[in-house]
Amino acid sequence: MTYKHPCFHHNRHPFPDTVTVQDGWTDDGRRNMVTRPNPMSKECQQWGEYGWARIQRWDCIGCRWYPENVEAS
């Protein structure tokens, strides 16, 4: 049985490659902000071996993050 995705990230915009985070304080008490690589996974994690989409067979056809190599289970 398949059903429409309950995913809040359906067709979400891509995560940015970098993020701005606080790295301490300046001498005058302001935040020292720096840019770092974004550690978030870029693709949908629901289609991994134990992902909820794979286990419950979500109908994610049409989502920009739907993997091309999903095996039928």
Could you give the number of structural domains in the chain? Answer: 1
pLDDT higher than threshold 90 for residue 3: no
Predicted pLDDT at 4 = 63
Residues 6+ apart with CB under 8 A from 67: 43, 44, 47
Between 4 and 12, the more confident residue is 12
Predicted pLDDT at 2 = 53
User: Given the structure tokens 């993997």, which residue do they identify?
Assistant: 67
pLDDT higher than threshold 60 for residue 73: no
Q: Which domain holds residue 62?
A: 1-11+18-73
pLDDT in tens, 13-61: 888 999 999 999 999 999 999 999 999 888 888 888 888 888 888 888 7
Task: Please say whether the beta carbons of 9 and 44 come within 8 A.
Answer: yes
